[in-house]
Chains A and B, each alone.
Chain A
Amino acid sequence: MNNVSVADLLVLILACAAGTYLWRALGVAVAGRLDPDGELFSWMGCVALAMIAGLVARMLVEPVGVLATTSLLERLGATACALVMYFGLTRRNLLAGVVSGCVAIVLLQLLR
């Protein structure tokens, strides 16, 4: 970790940026050759949505890092608070829903 020059770090960042942008560029290139109303498109939409839903479910059910210090019941309780706030109490106010979920998970830790 020591004696790493700024130039080396910049090369690292640039290389990682290129490796990330590759997929974005490929996506634009593929899109140009496909029919946006076609079947391949709706399949890719499904894959993208399922990817995110899978990530969310994983983060709530078996989290890693700081969230792993909470119990499943606490996470589900806080999630329920957010859902009630978003769908029930406010007319789908995202900020209100997100904030109430976060406040709930913190309060549940303090009440332990």
Chain B
Amino acid sequence: MDATTTDYPTPRAALVAGARDALGAPIAVLAAGYVGYGALASGFDFPPLLIVASTLMIWALPGQLIMLEMHAVSAQLVLIVLAVSLSASRFLPMTTVLSGMMRHPRYSSWQMYAAAHLLAMTTWVAAVNRVPQLPAEQRLPYFVGFALLCWIACAVASAVGYFLAGQMSELVKLGLVFMNPIYFLLILTGETKAALGRLALAAGAITGPVAHALAPEWSLLAAGLVGGSAAYALHRWRRQRE
């Protein structure tokens, strides 16, 4: 991924380029997570087809894990859905930012709503850095190419994990789990160029562990709101002084 402005000949070429960029680290990391999900699910009473369906329909790994674990302890449906939904609140700022970037008269609103389903933390981080470098018309196809391939790959990965569950050692699981923080650390520090974005990253890195220590169930949202707002306020204050 280079930082220069790219102009693909057609929106279709942008879609293919997006899919090509997903191959490699992004799919490896996402799929590793879903192999783990499939392996975990095989221990519960979900048939494999429903596990694949849950990945395609929910497409949010933390929420899916919450669903499995709460179902395993026989929690009430309403409570499970509430917990899953709360864990997905991170998608609100993410979809807002990304669909604001991808808007173009060529694409109808139902296409934007459909694309929003493909959003995941991984696809967001990759797209939010790449998409502004593209002409407006190519942004949505690029994102869809990228995210669609991830989505399909992870549906397959859930099934693979389901059937490989018994054969994975603890060390392999450790390596797969460690992929997630490392991937986000590298792509965020490597691709976030704007001063405001870097400030937000630093603030979040501080508020994250603190919020987790204070209130684990709210930590993601709280760290984002407090850290992000602090970074934003600091940036504005510095700008006004200049």
Contact A51-B93, Cβ < 8 Å, known A12-B71, A31-B103: yes
Contact call A12/B58, Cβ cutoff below 8 A: no
- Flag if B204 contacts A53 (CB, 8 Å): yes
Q: Is the interface of A mostly helix, strand, loop or mixed?
A: helix
Are A70 and B174 in touch, CB under 8 angstroms? yes
Inter-chain contact B190/A57, CB cutoff 8 Å: no
Measured CB to CB, the nearest residue on chain B to A23 is: B91
Indicate if B92 sits at the interface (CB-CB under 8 A). yes
Whether A53 lies near B205 (C-beta < 8 A) is: yes
B88 at the interface (CB under 8 A from A): yes
B113 and A46 form a contact (CB under 8 A): no
Q: Give Cα A43 to B112, complex, Å.
A: 22
> Quick check: is B6 within 8 A (CB to CB) of the other chain?
no
Q: What does DSSP make chain B's interface, helix, strand, loop or mixed?
A: helix
B164 interface residue per 8 A CB criterion = no
Which range contains the number of B residues in contact with the other chain?
A: 35 or more
CA distance A58 to B184 in the complex (A): 12
**A95 and B25 contact, CB distance less than 8 A:** yes
Q: Which parts of B145-197 form the interface with A (CB within 8 Å)?
A: 170-190, 192, 196-197
Contact A31 B100 (CB under 8 A): yes
Task: Find out whether the CB atom of A49 lies under 8 angstroms from the CB atom of B177.
Answer: no
Q: Which of A14, A44, A78 contacts B178 (CB 8 A)?
A: A78
Q: By the criterion CB–CB under 8 Å, are B186 and A94 in contact? A: yes
Q: What's the minimum C-beta distance from A46 to chain B, rounded to whole angstroms?
A: 4
Contact of A17 with B57 in the complex, beta carbons under 8 Å = yes
- Answer yes or no: B42 CB below 8 A from chain A CBs: no
Q: CB within 8 A of B201: which of A18, A50, A87?
A: A50
* Beta-carbon contact of B81 and A45 below 8 Å: no
Please, which residues of chain A bring their CB within 8 A of the CB of B58?
A: 13, 16-17, 20
| Interchain CB contact (< 8 A) of B208 among A43, A54, A79 | A54
Known A-B contacts A45-B93, A53-B200; the reply to A15 vs B229 at CB < 8 A is: no
Minimum C-beta distance from A105 to chain B (A): 5
Q: A47 — which chain B residues lie within 8 A by C-beta?
A: 93, 200, 224-225, 228-229
In the assembled complex, which residues on chain B have CB atoms less than 8 Å from the CB atom of A111? none
Q: How far is the CA of A31 from the CA of B84 in the complex (A)?
A: 23
CB contact list, A46-78 vs B, under 8 A: 46-62, 65-67, 69-70, 75, 78
